[in-house]
């Protein structure tokens, strides 16, 4: 090599305009090695290709800036060389070709930092929001499938006169968004104040990504953890307990909890046990460890797989596929078994929460049960110790809205509640799950 040598940096040539980095899978040279122009000095992989990195001139390796396996931004030099090739004094690394493809911006992850100290012990519910579809479906509309059944009989066994069903172009996250937006507004917060999103649903928009992540996008929130859970009709209370845990662990200060279900499209028109029961809807609230609100007292969560057969659906999502001949895609209930279990669970939940909260039955202003079935709630009230007139029912007007039923019912009586009113929530769902919560307004 000539004595008229000089040092320069060399770079990996980019292979496509949208690429930003590549991986050096293997160096074929070491410090002190001499090489010839065109010699393969490294093997490289990028997002779109694998290629040989060829020397741009004759020279010698003075320094390798990255080891084998390193990820290298294209704007960073990968090695320092000495060369006598005068043309390299004005050398610039090859510009990447500009193929006619649309450039896609890759979002950078936003990290939510300022977290809550886990010493907080008081967790409150702030504002509430609901979404009920506009379409009212009266029981007499559905009786065309059952000419031998009367409207009076169906009301007697279900307690339902009408329910709300979503429009054909509505998806579950649409309802979740409407309820969540109202809950955040009624909490006096902004979407940017939300540190995590927990969505309870058995009818997600899709298997993945989660409806919570879809909801996050609609709300314009970045960086906050978001996930779904499925505890069927018990889901909203399960989600509240999970959100409380996130606050106590320091993950966030304000957690959005949304329950949404759209069962109207998964009902078998020939199944009298399910077809008349279900409505669509969403309900949401914000849990906070820093803002003053309605304070959670006690919680109960349970599940018993001995009840797996009582309520079930074997296909995911909010719609039934056209080709479902080889499996049962519909929502199914074992009505008699579910009635017995739900009656006992509701009444036991109320009694236990009264004791755990150090209340008396007379202290309870309202019991807001999951609106499963009018007969179940009446039977449970008789065994609970709390008079039936303190059990709030709206099932006659909205049907069983699954995990959204408690927040929807609560929203109807919210304006009539007084400070320090004592409230009990209780529910059962597929699994079979059960949940309860006591709250001081």
CB 399 within 8 A of CB 277: yes
Rounded CA-CA distance 97/76 in Å is 18
Query: 130-174: per-residue pLDDT in tens?
Result: 999 999 999 999 998 898 899 999 999 899 999 999 999 999 999
Active site residue 28: no
Pairing of strands 135-138, 226-229: unpaired
Q: What angle do CA 96, 98, 100 make, to 5 degrees?
A: 155
Q: Which of 14-18, 26-30, 107-111, 381-385 has the lowest mean pLDDT?
A: 107-111
Residue 113 pLDDT grade (very low, low, confident, very high; cuts 50, 70, 90) = very low
313: left (phi over 0), alpha (psi -120 to 50) or beta: beta
Instruction: Report strand pairing: 135-138 vs 433-440.
Output: unpaired
Annotated catalytic residue, options 131, 233, 403, 426: 233
CATH fold of the domain at 6-90: OB fold (Dihydrolipoamide Acetyltransferase, E2P) (2.40.50)
Q: Is the CB of residue 396 less than 8 Å from the CB of residue 372?
A: no
Confidence check: pLDDT of 95 > 60 = no
Give the residue with greater pLDDT, 176 vs 1. 176
Report in angstroms the alpha-carbon separations of 52 from 10, 12, 31, 80, 292. Answer: 14, 10, 19, 18, 63
| Contact by Cβ (8 Å): 373, 158 | yes
Q: Which residues contact 70 (CB under 8 A, 6 or more apart)?
A: 23, 24
Domain regions of the chain by residue span:
6-90, 124-440
Per the listing, tokens 């960086």 go with 223
Interhelix angle 374-384/151-158, rounded to 10 degrees, is 40
Please tell me the distance from the alpha carbon of residue 434 to that of residue 423, in angstroms, as a whole number: 17
Q: Is 180 exposed, middle or buried (0-12, 13-18, 19+ CB in 10 A)?
A: buried
Residue 10 dihedral angles phi and psi, to the nearest 5°: -120, 155
Question: H or E stretch including 254?
Answer: strand 254-262
Q: Is the pLDDT of residue 88 over 90?
A: no
Q: Write the pLDDT tens digit of every residue in 60-74.
A: 999 999 998 888 888
Please tell me the pTM assigned to this model. 0.73
Helix (H, G, I), strand (E, B) or coil at 74: coil
| Residue range 270-297: mean pLDDT, rounded | 94
8 Å CB contact between 173 and 197: no
Give the β-pairing of 40-46 and 21-27: antiparallel
- Please say whether the beta carbons of 145 and 275 come within 8 A: yes
* 3-class DSSP state of 162: strand
**C-alpha angle 240/242/247, rounded to 5°?**
90
387 pLDDT band, cuts 50/70/90, is: very high
Active site residue 233: yes
How many helices (H) and strands (E) are present in the chain, helices listed first?
10, 21
23-37, 214-228, 244-258, 332-346: least confident range: 332-346
Instruction: With beta carbons less than 8 A apart as the criterion, state whether 229 and 238 touch.
Output: yes
- Has residue 197 got a pLDDT over 70? yes
Give residue for tokens 């949208």: 18
Residue with tokens 């955040």: 184
Q: Which of 230, 254, 373, 400 is catalytic?
A: 400
Q: Do the beta carbons of residue 142 and residue 278 sit within 8 Å?
A: no
Query: If you ran DSSP here, which 8-state letter would residue 232 be given?
Result: G
Tokens standing for residue 270: 């020939």
Give the closest residue to 288 by CA, choosing from 157, 165, 193, 405: 193
Give the pLDDT of residue 275: 93
CATH 3.40.47.10 fits 124-440, yes or no: yes
Distances (CA, A) of 209 to 212, 219, 233: 8, 16, 22
17 has pLDDT over 50: yes
> Among residues 57, 230, 294, 370, which one is catalytic?
370
Helix or strand or coil: residue 60? strand
d(C-alpha 277, C-alpha 400), whole Å: 6
Tokens representing 246 are 């996130």
Tell me the average pLDDT of the chain: 88
Name which of 276, 275, 231, 280 is nearest 257 in CA terms.
231
Q: How far apart are CA 182 and CA 131, in angstroms?
A: 9
> Can you give the pLDDT at residue 74?
84
């Amino acid at each position: 090599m000539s004595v008229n040598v000089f040092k320069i940096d060399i770079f990996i040539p980019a292979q496509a305009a949208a690429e930003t980095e590549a991986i050096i899978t293997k160096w074929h040279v070491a410090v002190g090695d001499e090489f010839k122009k065109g010699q393969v000095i490294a093997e490289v992989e990028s997002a779109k290709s694998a290629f040989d990195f060829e020397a741009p001139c004759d020279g010698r390796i003075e320094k390798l800036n990255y080891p084998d396996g390193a990820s290298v931004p294209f704007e960073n030099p990968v090695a320092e060389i000495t060369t006598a090739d005068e043309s390299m004094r004005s050398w610039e690394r090859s510009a990447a070709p500009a193929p006619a493809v649309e450039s896609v911006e890759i979002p950078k992850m936003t990290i939510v930092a300022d977290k809550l100290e886990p010493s907080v012990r008081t967790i409150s519910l702030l504002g509430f929001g609901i979404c009920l579809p506009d379409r009212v479906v009266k029981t007499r509309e559905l009786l065309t499938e059952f000419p031998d059944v009367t409207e009076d009989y169906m009301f007697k066994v279900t307690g339902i006169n009408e329910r709300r069903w979503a429009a054909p172009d509505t998806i579950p996250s649409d309802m979740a968004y409407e309820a969540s937006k109202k809950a955040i507004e009624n909490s006096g917060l902004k979407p940017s104040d939300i540190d995590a999103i927990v969505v309870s649903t058995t009818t997600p928009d899709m298997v993945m990504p989660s409806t919570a992540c879809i909801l996050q996008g609609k709300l314009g929130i970045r960086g906050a953890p978001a996930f779904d859970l499925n505890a069927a009709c018990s889901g909203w209370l399960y989600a509240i307990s999970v959100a409380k845990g996130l606050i106590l662990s320091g993950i966030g200060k304000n957690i959005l909890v949304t329950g949404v279900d759209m069962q109207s499209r998964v009902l078998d028109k020939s199944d009298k046990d399910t077809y008349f029961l279900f409505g669509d809807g969403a309900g949401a609230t914000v849990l906070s460890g820093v803002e003053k609100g309605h304070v959670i007292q006690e919680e109960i969560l349970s599940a018993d797989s001995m009840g797996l057969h009582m309520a079930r659906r074997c296909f995911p999502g909010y719609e039934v596929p056209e080709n479902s001949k080889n499996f049962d895609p519909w929502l199914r209930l074992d009505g008699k078994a579910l009635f017995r279990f739900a009656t006992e669970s509701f009444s036991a939940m109320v009694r236990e929460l009264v004791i755990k909260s150090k209340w008396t039955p007379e202290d309870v202003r309202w019991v807001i049960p999951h609106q499963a079935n009018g007969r179940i709630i009446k039977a449970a009230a008789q065994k609970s110790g709390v008079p039936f007139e303190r059990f709030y029912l709206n099932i006659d007007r909205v049907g069983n809205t699954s995990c959204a039923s408690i927040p929807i019912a609560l929203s109807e009586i919210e304006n009539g509640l007084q400070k320090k009113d004592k409230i009990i929530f209780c529910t059962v769902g597929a699994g079979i799950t059960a949940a309860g919560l006591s709250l001081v307004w």
